[in-house]
Amino acid sequence: MEQTIPVVDLSTYRTAEGKDAFVKKLGESLRELGFAALENHGIDQAVFDRTYAAYKAFFALPEDVKRKYETPEDGRRRGYTSFGVEHAKDSKKADLKEFFHVGRELPSSDPMSGRLAKNLWPAEIEEVEKASKALYDELDRVAFDVLEAFSLYLGQPNAFLPAMADKGNTILRVIHYPVCDGFDEPGVMRAAQHEDINLMTLLPPADESGLELLTREGEWLPIHAIPGQIIVDTGDMMSRITNDQIPATTHRVVNPKGDPKPRYSMPFFVHPHLDVVLEVMESCVPEGETAKYEPIPNDEFLTQRLREIGLAK
């Protein structure tokens, strides 16, 4: 199956002859579409498979067991979120999904450790912790390579975006879209149209297709779930610091057609560290104009967005 968006080869970024071409193609795809597909990223399919298997077992647990790991009091930043809780920012109807959040873990000696929410590990499925940590570390490595390359595309030192994300509040979200009632209800879908909140998202191959992005021409373009590819997209925080030069592209997950099957996906939401202030880059403000956005602490921005989608109060 041929991908519908530009495909970039991460292995070429570390070569003298391929680096500039990788940076250019990645940057132009994210500027034009807000999306790109990444191949040769170095993560073995078995790492994805083990994580999916662990969470399929978790989501199959009774509802009262899963809800032991739900934390509405902290905006559901870690642990489980029940089916029917989250909704898109501009929608009053809940998405048809449940999910589990895993965040960064730092040594207790690190001052940032006490400021990040603590992970919740389900005792019933021990493999969840081991598989999640392994996948988190692998995706974190890939994210920093992509952020480094994208920094160069923005005309910045290669450490510009990685420094923002160093020890950041990055989240692995494992999502279960079950087969359920509601597929035929107007305005209800697995994930209604939305933009991601964060700097950048890495999306490992889902086990079923359904992801679509909204093009600049106002058409919905399906993005295929192809083994070996990680989908990269930019979020609201990236759009904000680039003065909207890099878009946070609207996307959705549509309901299945024909004989429906459950769907699982694992987006990796790359966030800045807690002390980063989201401020428009001077190089992104045309001469004689002012920035579109005032500076805002990124955690304040995140909390605002979490309220808008029903996760925080």
Name residues whose C-beta falls within 8 Å of residue 196's C-beta, 6 or more positions apart in sequence: 233, 234, 235, 236, 248, 267, 269
The confidence score (pLDDT) of residue 313 equals: 78
CA distance 310 to 48: 29
Length of the chain: 313
- Alpha-carbon distance 157 to 132, whole Å? 31
Angstrom distance (rounded) from CA 115 to CA 113? 5
pTM of the complete model: 0.96
**Residue among 123, 237, 233 nearest 169 (CA):** 237
Per-residue pLDDT of the chain (313 residues; tens, 9 = 90+): 899 999 999 999 999 999 999 999 999 999 999 999 999 999 999 999 999 999 999 999 999 999 999 999 888 999 999 999 999 988 889 999 999 999 999 999 999 999 999 999 999 999 999 999 999 999 999 999 999 999 999 999 999 999 999 999 999 999 999 999 888 888 899 999 999 999 999 999 998 889 999 999 999 999 999 999 999 999 999 999 999 999 999 999 999 888 899 999 999 999 999 999 999 999 999 999 999 999 999 999 999 999 999 988 7
Q: What pLDDT shows up at residue 259?
A: 87
What pLDDT sits at residue 106? Answer: 96
Q: How far apart are the first and last CA of the chain?
A: 43
Beta strands (DSSP E) in the chain are 7-9, 35-39, 79-81, 98-103, 171-177, 191-194, 200-203, 211-214, 220-222, 230-234, 251-253, 263-265, 268-270, 277-278, 296-297
Joined together, the tokens standing for residue 126 give 């021990």
DSSP state of 239: H
Nearest 10 degrees: CA dihedral of 12, 14, 19, 25? 50
The whole-number pLDDT of residue 312 equals: 83
CA distance linking residue 35 with residue 38, whole number of Å: 10
What pLDDT is attached to residue 12?
A: 97
Q: What pLDDT does residue 265 have? A: 97
Chain segment 222-272, per-residue pLDDT in tens: 999 999 999 999 999 999 999 999 999 999 999 988 889 999 999 999 999
Query: Residue 98: helix, strand or coil by DSSP?
Result: strand
Which domains are assigned to the chain?
A: 7-308 (2.60.120.330)
The confidence score (pLDDT) of residue 209 equals: 87
Antiparallel, parallel or unpaired: β 7-9 and 35-39: parallel
